[in-house]
Structure 1
């Protein structure tokens, strides 16, 4: 029996959202969709009856629990304007919403996902055995992606709704730029995402899946930057693009001349991958304007380093503010995330492929990634689980490493999520439901009851 791939707009829009064994995900997506259509909060309001983390309880120097207190926050023009202790006077004249006594946390960021190539939101597409490795998948894309173009915006939008329901209010999406599609994916995805600016933030990486130099895509990549991509992408310079120096230099030159960021897919292991990382770092040293704007996605070659070698390279990456985006395990590999974090490297995570021809197992939930990191790296106590939240948020946590409250503070963006949990550690370990999700103060998913002031 053979299976055809039905990617028509009619099949997409009439099909039940198909997510296999992902359980509650369709309900979350539908809830987010309804919220998007009919519910946003007023620009200025008070969110009362919330719980904030305030510090760690310690015994003989060991963290034995998390301290919390009730509070209210004032949201003005998309930012947190004030934090009011429990019992404090609330501003007069503002709408009041009730947080239901739930814990308030920073909302989540998916820093590596392919929104443009998902099957999510449409009928189940039976996965096939890969033929010919990455080259075989790229060959498949030559015929598959043009068929998917008419429904790209609908599919991407449904996936964004799923992310929002899971507490994510920002995504950096990789987006194909190739000889067949050209810049069409960038143009369509940008249009789809800009319709959601009030409830979802985004960045777009122009991703040369077929190769940057080897596929003669430099002019097309520049056109993608002009079409709205925020980051120049790249792909394994030695293993795929046919020449490390030319590939890296071309990618970095586009970023410098067009004042964009960099986010490279770096799967190749061992010496060639490390050489690419070092050449990228050399360029950032020469061009300080790139500091804080370069991300190494996957970076499996870091697993080949000894502890001293990793420490040396991680120290350099941190000094240059070069970040790493990791999906954590990948094909049996486990990244040295603790070693990177120990040297101050910013480590992000993402859900990568969610229901597409590369993988059908992505859940669209970065809080799962935080829990997975705890299990992989032995972060099994209250302190370790609590601090793992940074994996899901892209950095912010309520408490810093010393246990001092650092979020929320006046001036912070009102990007936040309410969960029925007593603390961050419980939210991660028990994968607490995300009951209300906010971006820029706007309700992006979930619901809150009106409160009596």
Structure 2
């Protein structure tokens, strides 16, 4: 039993506008990782159950980290700032020729520390891109799979076979296919024009691998302007032709920020019709990504930390809720309603209340996968970023602590 849990129950309105969020206290019974009862605190419950007191903390859906590189990081080791990029991405590819081998002996250890970090911030799902390249071959993948296996009772995952040095440029197709045989869930790609030098062949190869292994696609597309837009349009066509509806993600997709009014909605409708998702780290200092417009047109927008203190960037802290907070600040989502809806960016679309304020989560039958935070509502959580007190994964405490009252008798 999880006692004295605060759940959102509805919105308060004034002159047609949401001004506050109502909550109630409930006791929740969990059996074999599933919520089986949601009770009023005065209702009786079975004696002899292990009981944990949430002390009025707010229960929210746990978070989803949808773009991260668990296999290569400085995290867990000495501080080191990002590398200088004299020749952009090509400088970084050259650096990795030696750096990946230096990091390899501690790759599993650091991946595990990174998993613990994102767990502490409430993420119980991670989609990790993993380097597949001629330098390390499948060795990073082997280390990452071991790390994830050690945390299989705390976090679910997907793995993207990521040709960081270019799918065509590094002749990585064979290695990617080998990675797919090892249970990788998504085929990756990288800037088909800038890096691979042949947009059509790069995209065709990626799509064919996905079809051959019944896998998803998640491409890094940093290319801006018309170059990036051309790649998005062609990938959309190939997605339709190959029957990959709902299985394709475009990470970053910076070129969407350059679309003119009208063309942006047209593009968004095309992506939505094919179930193509956008994964964003909510970048600062570049063209502002049109996340609100994408959501309005029913495009699935997901968030990720991307790099966490590695040779690409020192700024990621592992907190997906912080990314939702950044989006709210960037797009001016400062009122109660918009802040509460922004939570969906961190949770993979799940919110306690639907758009009309009806309570839709949690329900009996849901997995007991959630976070407890010292906050009064979702809106406060997004705005104030409280530290997760406890993280539950299928009924198990994956991170943090709960007050154990199991020695107290349950009610008759």
2:37 counterpart of 1:89: no
Total equivalences in the alignment:
407
Cα gap change, 1:249 to 1:101, in 2 (>3 Å): same
- Quick check: 1:286 aligned with 2:241? yes
Structure 2 length as normaliser, TM-score? 0.96
- Cα distance in 2 for residues equivalent to 1:450 and 1:128: 46
Residues 131-142 of structure 1: pairs in structure 2 closer than 5 A? 131-142=86-97
Tell me the distance in 2 between the aligned counterparts of 1:197 and 1:242: 39
2:170 matched residue in structure 1? 215
Q: How far apart in 1 are the matches of 2:46 and 2:218?
A: 44
The correspondence of residues 86-125 of structure 1 with structure 2, limited to 5 A, is: 86-125=41-80
Q: Secondary structure at the match of 1:434?
A: coil
Q: 1:279 to 1:89 in 2, by over 3 A?
A: farther
Does the 8 Å CA contact 1:183/1:227 hold for their aligned counterparts?
A: no
1:184 aligns with 2:139: yes
Deviation, structure 1 residue 191 = 1.1
**Are the aligned partners of 1:187 and 1:227 in contact in 2 as well (CA < 8 Å)?**
no
1:3-402 → structure 2 map (5 Å cutoff): 46-288=1-243, 290-402=244-356
Structure 2 SS opposite 1:101: coil
- How far, CA to CA, are the matches of 1:341 and 1:307 in structure 2? 15
Q: Could you report, residue by residue, the CA deviation over 1:49-102 in whole angstroms, capped at 9, with x for unpaired residues?
A: 100001110012100100110112222222222322332332454322211110
SS of alignment partner, residue 227 of structure 2: helix
1:330: Cα distance to partner?
Answer: 4.4
Contact 1:110/1:171 (8 A) holds in 2:
yes
Q: 2: distance between equivalents of 1:418 and 1:123?
A: 32
In structure 2, distance between residues paired with 1:438 and 1:51: 15
Cα distance in 2 between the residues matched to 1:222 and 1:336 = 34
- The secondary structure found in structure 1 opposite 2:141 is helix
Give the Å deviation of 1:287.
Answer: 3.3
Cα distance in structure 2, aligned partners of 1:197 and 1:48 = 26
Q: Secondary structure at the match of 1:95?
A: coil
Question: CA–CA distance in 1 between the matches of 2:217 and 2:146?
Answer: 21
Q: Structure 1 length as normaliser, TM-score?
A: 0.87
1:426 is matched with which residue? 380
CA contact (8 A) 1:266 1:299 kept: yes
User: After the TM superposition, which residues 401-440 of structure 1 pair with which residues of structure 2 at under 5 Å, given as runs?
Assistant: 401-440=355-394
- Residue 142 of structure 2 aligns to a residue in which SS? helix
Aligned counterparts of 1:91 and 1:311: Cα–Cα separation in 2: 54
Deviation of the 1:285 alpha carbon = 1.9
Residue aligned with 2:55, SS: strand
Q: 3-state SS of the aligned residue for 1:324? A: strand
Counterparts of 1:133 and 1:316, CA distance in 2: 31
Q: Deviation of residue 130 (structure 1)? A: 2.2
**Per-residue deviation, 1:266:** 0.5
State the 1:189 CA deviation: 0.2
Q: CA contact under 8 A between 2:65 and 2:127: conserved in structure 1?
A: yes
Conserved? CA contact 2:137–2:175, under 8 Å: yes
Which has the larger displacement, 121-130 or 142-151? 121-130
Helix, strand or coil: the match of 2:403? coil
Contact 2:207 2:242 in 1 (8 A): no
Compute the displacement of 1:221 (Å).
Answer: 0.4
Q: CA deviation at 1:283?
A: 2.3
Structure 2: distance between partners of 1:263 and 1:72: 40
Distance between the aligned counterparts of 2:285 and 2:202, measured in 1? 25
Map of 1:18 onto structure 2: none
Q: Deviations over 1:338-376 (max 9, x none)?
A: 000001111111111101000111111111111111110
User: Aligned partners of 2:52 and 2:313: how far apart in 1?
Assistant: 40
Q: Secondary structure at the residue paired with 1:371?
A: helix
